[in-house]
Structure 1
Amino acid sequence: MAKDIQTPPGTGHVGTMTPDQKELLKEMWSQIFSIADSGAVNIPSDVLAATETASAGSETASVKSKTATKKGWFGTSKAAPPAAAAGEDTPSARVNLAEIGLSVEQLRPALWNNILGDHPDSLLLRFLRARKWNVNNGMTMILKAFKWRLEDDIEEVKSKSEDELDAKYRGFRLQMELGKSFVHGTDKEGRPIVYINVRLHKPADQDAKALEKFTIYVMEVGRLMIQPPVETACLVFDMTGFGLANMDYNFVKFLVQCFEAYYPESLGILIIHKAPLVFWGVWKIIEPWLDPVVASKIRFTRGDKELTDIIEAERLPNKYEGGRDQFTYQYIPVQAGENDRMKDTETKERLLDEWKAHMWKFEALTREWIECKKVEGARAEDVIENERNALAKELRVAYFKLDPYIRARNLYHRSEHPVLQADGTSVWTYKN
């Protein structure tokens, strides 16, 4: 049996793959195309027991694809034959998607709603790196993440306004009004910084589901702020004033699960800042829950000036000693009419069709890319790769044209100096 493969530094991302990594990425795309035609996939046997009781073919109405057909996600084009799975550390079995509670109709929107404006390869590479380039295990992980996104209706936090979410989940908007968590600026590595003010959290102030939805909201908004080639975020857990009344073990478990299972390879560094003595008893409980990869990204800082080792002083809020950015968090409520474009169904459908046209082209090029070394007279691999990368950029442009018609505006669109721009870029304003 093949061993897990570590990712050498500086490799494993779009534009930095080794030849072996590239072949494993092709294998994963090939398995995805196999699902499109057959509705089945190779799943390691040790995870079947956990999924076989799921309701067969259960569907979430809000995420059904209007364009899906009985012939698969990608229409009538013939799929490339699936390559042998790499690194089969566990035995695998051929199972129908219905057996794990998924359907072909659900999978396609789950995939592309997750890609957003990123290079499509980037999503698959996250799961491959997280599973040490074991294609079968990577497929298992991504399918379970898709199932979670469907069952928990992740699209809801994107398509509904903060007021609508608050009406459904008690205490959702309170998280933003308090400034319990917000994103501001980037660190020295260009990673967006998420600040969490732990002292402001009291478990009884909101429903548990509201806190989960807010966490997903921050995750999904944060993804828009991660600018290629950066792929991760920086989290600062500010423990100033922390007491046991602020501790919420269920939330910690949920957050750990998000980073390990649903948003893999998205955490760059997690800073636990100014943890008081009482926290260390809590830490003894939490530490065993952490995956070694996540645990390796945690750093403890005792004083404010240590933060400037990670965040430039000009970008660090001046509430921290050594910080020069005169930033004060303020929540700006939903503005009347800010989501009117979501009602313009004619324009939305036109832009959706344009985005899908690019998507179909990318799929066709990917099939050609998978097969090019096996077919006599095929185009050169590097020629196809250049076309795929150019098309990925066109996909990004098409997605962000569509974005305001399918995504509600958020705090980072309506601030005095908007962070999120119409073209998908992020612009941070610092007051020094």
Structure 2
Amino acid sequence: MLPEVWRAAYSPDDLKAEVKSFTLWRVTIDPNNPATDARASVILMKFLRAKELKVNDAKTALIATLRWRDEMKIDEIETEEFPKIFSGAGRNFGHDKQGRPVTYNVYGGDVDVKELFSDVRRFIRWRVQFMEKSIELLDFENVDQMVQIHDYKGVSMMSRGANEKAAASEATNIFQSHYPEFLVSKFFVNVPTFMAWVFWAFKAFMSAKTFAKFSMVGTGESTIGVALLPYIDAKELPKVYGGEADAW
């Protein structure tokens, strides 16, 4: 199957082209002998699990992902420099109790959300870069998933503009289509009750399996701590989220 995947992704006009190895998330995969690296099997299994072990669906998804990465020029995105505003919007800090890295997306608080989403294409490139950097924390041997925390502190119902909605929709589609089974759980924190629609809006863009990994948490360190501390040790959780760590 993998030689067919390679030809469809990299040489669709020459199905007799010599099949070569390709790299996905720093793991080299040999289509003719993928068993040479156990990590390759872990990555390929992600596509199978995402498609409920339906081989043809997983094959189609893998081909689409390889094509998308070429079209997006992921190698260039990984080294692209973004304005300082983005430095506070994405952070990797600590691990959960199973050793999985925890990533933070901050779309409120001190982050200038209007500027963050002023250019949707720029935001998408940055968001993809941040995801790629987060994946670098996985070894695909002991850990192959992460926890995500999205912080909407201070965000009001009126502040979500067309750009933010468009970016959220596109990013959700990208991660569901091209980053399968990387997420073990996602927490939306500092979400006011009247903004519950932000949480439920994601349901329209993803599978029920993925949506089941989402949890909406209220506001305040104490409330957030109650939700997160069962999964993340206090020493691994920033104080602003009810933990003990002086993270930022």
Please, what TM-score do these two structures have when normalized by structure 1? 0.48
Cα deviation 1:217-269 (Å, max 9, x = unaligned)? 11111111123321111111122212131462112212221331100000110
Cα deviation 1:360-414 (Å, max 9, x = unaligned)? xxxxxxxxxxxxxxxxxxxxxxxxxxxxxxxxxxxxxxxxxxxxxxxxxxxxxxx
Residue 317 of structure 1 is aligned with which of 231, 234, 238?
Answer: 238
Q: Indicate the SS of the match to 1:275.
A: coil
Higher relative strand content? 2
Give the equivalent residue in structure 2 for 1:308: 229
Residues 282, 224 of structure 1: CA spacing in aligned structure 2 closer, same or farther, 3 A cutoff? Answer: closer
Quote the offset at 1:299 in angstroms.
1.4
Query: Is residue 33 from structure 1 mapped to residue 9 from structure 2 by the alignment?
Result: no
Residue 113 of structure 2 is aligned with which of 202, 211, 215?
Answer: 202
Cα deviation 1:78-109 (Å, max 9, x = unaligned)? xxxxxxxxxxxxxxxxxxxxxxxxxxxxxx5x
Give the equivalent residue in structure 1 for 2:172: 256
Cα deviation 1:259-288 (Å, max 9, x = unaligned)? 311000001100011310331233443322
Q: Indicate the SS of the match to 1:112.
A: strand
Residues 155, 273 of structure 1: CA spacing in aligned structure 2 closer, same or farther, 3 A cutoff? Answer: same
The answer as to whether partners of 2:199 and 2:216 remain within 8 angstroms in 1 is: no
Q: Indicate the SS of the match to 2:74.
A: coil
Give the equivalent residue in structure 2 for 1:102: none
Give the equivalent residue in structure 2 for 1:242: 155
Residues 316, 148 of structure 1: CA spacing in aligned structure 2 closer, same or farther, 3 A cutoff? Answer: same
Residues 180, 35 of structure 1: CA spacing in aligned structure 2 closer, same or farther, 3 A cutoff? Answer: closer
Q: Distance in 2 between matches of 1:315 and 1:230?
A: 17
Q: Distance in 2 between matches of 1:277 and 1:112?
A: 44
In the TM superposition, 1:76-91 aligns within 5 A as none
Q: Indicate the SS of the match to 1:196.
A: strand
Q: Distance in 2 between matches of 1:157 and 1:132?
A: 31
Quote the offset at 1:289 in angstroms.
2.0
Give the equivalent residue in structure 1 for 2:34: none
Q: Indicate the SS of the match to 1:149.
A: helix
The answer as to whether partners of 1:197 and 1:237 remain within 8 angstroms in 2 is: yes
Unaligned runs of 5+ in 2: 29-37
Cα deviation 1:120-179 (Å, max 9, x = unaligned)? 112211101111111111110000111111111111123x252xxx3xxxx4x4201xx1
Query: Is residue 224 from structure 1 mapped to residue 136 from structure 2 by the alignment?
Result: yes
Q: Distance in 2 between matches of 1:279 and 1:288?
A: 16
Residue 186 of structure 2 is aligned with which of 270, 291, 301?
Answer: 270
The answer as to whether partners of 1:198 and 1:246 remain within 8 angstroms in 2 is: no
**What letter corresponds to residue 208 of structure 1 in structure 2?**
V
Give the equivalent residue in structure 1 for 2:19: 73
Quote the offset at 1:211 in angstroms.
0.8
Residues 189, 125 of structure 1: CA spacing in aligned structure 2 closer, same or farther, 3 A cutoff? Answer: same
Query: Is residue 183 from structure 1 mapped to residue 129 from structure 2 by the alignment?
Result: no
Please, what TM-score do these two structures have when normalized by structure 2? 0.80
The answer as to whether partners of 1:194 and 1:234 remain within 8 angstroms in 2 is: yes
Residues 135, 242 of structure 1: CA spacing in aligned structure 2 closer, same or farther, 3 A cutoff? Answer: same
**What letter corresponds to residue 214 of structure 2 in structure 1?**
I
Give the equivalent residue in structure 2 for 1:150: 70
Q: Distance in 2 between matches of 1:219 and 1:151?
A: 17
Q: Indicate the SS of the match to 1:119.
A: helix
Give the equivalent residue in structure 1 for 2:31: none
Residue 124 of structure 2 is aligned with which of 209, 212, 227?
Answer: 212
Quote the offset at 1:313 in angstroms.
0.4
Quote the offset at 1:300 in angstroms.
2.1
Number of residue equivalences:
224
Q: Distance in 1 between matches of 2:184 and 2:153?
A: 22
Give the equivalent residue in structure 2 for 1:286: 202
Q: Indicate the SS of the match to 2:239.
A: coil
Unaligned runs of 5+ in 1: 1-30, 42-55, 58-69, 75-107, 329-432
Superposition RMSD on alpha carbons, in Å?
A: 2.5
In the TM superposition, 1:377-416 aligns within 5 A as none
Quote the offset at 1:35 in angstroms.
5.3
